[in-house]
Amino acid sequence: MPDPDRILATLRRAIQCFRDTPGRRGRVVSLEGAAEVLVSGDLHGNLENFRRLLTKANLAQNPQRHFVLQEVIHGPYHYPAGGDKSHQLLDLLAALKCQFPRQVHFLLGNHELAQYTQRRIAKGDLDLNQVFREGVGTAYGGRAPEVYAVYQELFGVVPLALRTPNRILLSHSLPPASRLDDFDPAVLERDVSSESDMIPGGTVHALVWGRDTRAETVAAFLSKMDADLLISGHVPCDDGFDTPNDRQLILDSLGSPACYCLFPTDRPLSLADLVQHVQTL
């Protein structure tokens, strides 16, 4: 069993680091001092791909590089005794945030939101929320309720969106066209998301669950967010990435091929420029 006292201390430090991230306003972070950004797609507990991304990021040798992860829980990797092992990636992410508090960022995804709000999310016959809790129980035994509670606290503070100096927005997804009229970017800049924001029909829920990638929807969303381009995840990509319109790059880092994007922030970029900076693990 991992040392629960050690992981609890690390998680609590990481939560404070997320709250104290430079450039943070509510749950939106402007990436201050970033010369370049390495952003992944969904990981869903894939520890090997995380290790590869970490090697590529090489944060200690690149102090102006920022590293952005998204959707780390609810994966296909299970303990023999039962339960989802993806909490291990949360543990590693927390330790990394403590080590590089200015450079490491974690975008809330729909799976983290579902776990946080306890709104059932399923794959086949599996209740992914319950399987995640079972995995925490397998790892931490009698201390699992304490650890799980701090995971939930972490989900409640991590960013919903990131902004780069060259007007690129990073978020897990975007609202569908049917929700854009009601979508209020100011909600994202609140320190605490209300329950109504996080349920279907709310701004936070719409941001992380939408799959409307039509050009007109993305353009309207970016106008509301005062940005030029969008990098997101959420949608599986056969090639590890996709460009479903002329202003959006989708990344997928779970399977093979798995892709990430390492791009500069010191000059304006087009979508074609971003694609040139997509790399395969």
| pLDDT for 88 | 96
Nearest 5°: the CA angle 203, 208, 214 is 95
| pLDDT for 81 | 87
Quick one: what percent of the chain has pLDDT higher than 70? 100
Q: Please state, in angstroms and rounded to a whole number, the distance separating the CA atoms of residues 245 and 243.
A: 6
Residue 122 has pLDDT above 80, yes or no: no
The residues facing 169 across adjacent strands are 163, 230
Q: In which domain, by residue range, is 84 found?
A: 4-280
Quick one: what percent of the chain has pLDDT higher than 90? 93
| pLDDT for 50 | 97
Residue in 59, 54, 35 with CA at minimum distance from that of residue 43: 54
Residue 2 has pLDDT above 80, yes or no: no
The pLDDT tens digits for 136-174 are 999 999 999 999 999 999 999 999 999 999 999 999 999
What total of structural domains would you count in the chain?
A: 1
Residue 14 has pLDDT above 90, yes or no: yes
Lowest-pLDDT choice from 125-134, 158-167, 244-253 = 125-134
| pLDDT for 126 | 83
| pLDDT for 124 | 75
Cis, bond preceding 264 (omega within 30 deg of 0) = no
- DSSP character for 252? B
The pLDDT tens digits for 70-91 are 999 999 999 998 899 999 999 9
* pLDDT band for position 252 (cuts 50, 70, 90): very high
Report H helices in the chain: 4-19, 47-57, 87-99, 110-117, 128-140, 144-155, 177-180, 185-188, 195-198, 203-209, 215-225, 271-276
| pLDDT for 123 | 77
CATH number at residue 119: 3.60.21.10
* pLDDT band for position 121 (cuts 50, 70, 90): confident
- Phi-psi region for residue 199, left (φ > 0), alpha (ψ -120 to 50) or beta? beta
Collapsed DSSP state (helix, strand, coil) of residue 100: coil
* pLDDT band for position 1 (cuts 50, 70, 90): low
The pLDDT tens digits for 199-239 are 999 999 999 999 999 999 999 999 999 999 999 999 999 99
Separation in Å, CA 235 to CA 89, 95, 215: 20, 27, 16
Q: How many CA atoms lie within 13 A of 201 on its CB side?
A: 2
The residues facing 25 across adjacent strands are 28
Nearest 5°: the CA angle 224, 229, 233 is 95
Q: What number of other Cβ atoms are within 10 A of residue 92's Cβ?
A: 17
Residue in 62, 142, 76 with CA at minimum distance from that of residue 111: 76
| pLDDT for 171 | 98
Q: What sign does the dihedral 240-244-247-248 (CA atoms) show?
A: negative
CB of 167 closer than 8 Å to CB of 227 = yes
CB of 251 closer than 8 Å to CB of 233 = yes
* pLDDT band for position 33 (cuts 50, 70, 90): confident
Residue in 150, 147, 136 with CA at minimum distance from that of residue 82: 136
Collapsed DSSP state (helix, strand, coil) of residue 227: coil
